[in-house]
Structure 1
């Protein structure tokens, strides 16, 4: 049990966060702060719509989640795969090592930048929340 305490604790935190966002609707004004970038510039950041996406996932509406923030839903999937790998390795008593090289970080940054730019252009409005 001690070996899986880390992944189990992280999953408990994720479940609590999704439970809260699932019960307190971000579609209703006044519950969560507005994105400062959106408020000051009118530009959607890569995280805009993330709470609405999490709310939709908590309610099992994957289509609405993709409509709110497709990148966040993909991130939820990547997290799930990594978490399962972590849990399996922890249960087997093997250490987990995820090392990202600078090229990986640059790739992540490029994806975030491209997503941000495209969702703010007229032809990419389908990606806007």
Structure 2
């Protein structure tokens, strides 16, 4: 039975390790992480810009700063946690992990990220800059 939890546990360990590293190495100080290529060459913020700063703030318990740096990333952290719990519970019971997103859901997520990206790059969306 414990063998079935190996993959979910390994995935969780990798994610916890990544968050621990980002929590220990502050992305607000230049030189630790590469600059976003889109931002570097165009000055535009992609939907992932601010994700590392968001993760750093999240690890340190500053949810307001995490949301400011990248709100969709914070939603992703909570979504990952919920999906991981479901995955682990299904694995514990010997059931296959199933996540079935239809094309409508995928298009909706893509549209939300596109709108977020466009708005954060417009003058009135400056409050969404990381």
**Cα deviation, residue 16, structure 1:** 0.3
Q: Which residue of 2 aligns with 1:84?
A: 85
Structure 1 segment 25-36 matched on structure 2, within 5 A: 25-36=26-37
**What is the number of residues matched between the two proteins?**
129
Counterpart for residue 3 of structure 2: 2
Give me the whole-angstrom Cα distance separating, in 1, the residues matched to 2:48 and 2:127.
15
CA distance in 1, matches of 2:84, 2:39: 32
| TM-score normalised according to structure 2 size | 0.96
1:49-96: per-residue Cα shift (whole Å, max 9, x none)?
Answer: 000001111111111101110110011111111011111111111111
Instruction: Confirm whether residue 118 of structure 1 aligns to residue 116 of structure 2.
Output: no
For structure 2, which runs of at least 5 residues remain unmatched after alignment? none
1:52 to 2:61 alignment:
no
TM-score using structure 1 length: 0.96
After TM superposition, the structure 1 = structure 2 runs for residues 64-83 of structure 1, keeping only pairs within 5 Å, are: 64-83=65-84
In 2, the alpha carbon distance for the partners of 1:41 and 1:77 equals 31
Cα distance, 1:100 vs structure 2: 1.6
Q: Give the distance between the partners of 1:38 and 1:71, measured in 2 at CA.
A: 18
Query: Aligned partners of 1:100 and 1:74: how far apart in 2?
Result: 17
SS in 2 for 1:47: coil
Greater shift after overlay, 49-58 or 117-126? 117-126
* Unpaired stretches in structure 1, ≥5 consecutive residues: none
The offset of 1:120, in angstroms, is 0.9
State the Cα distance separating 1:14 from its structure 2 match: 0.4
CA RMSD in angstroms, aligned pairs only: 0.8
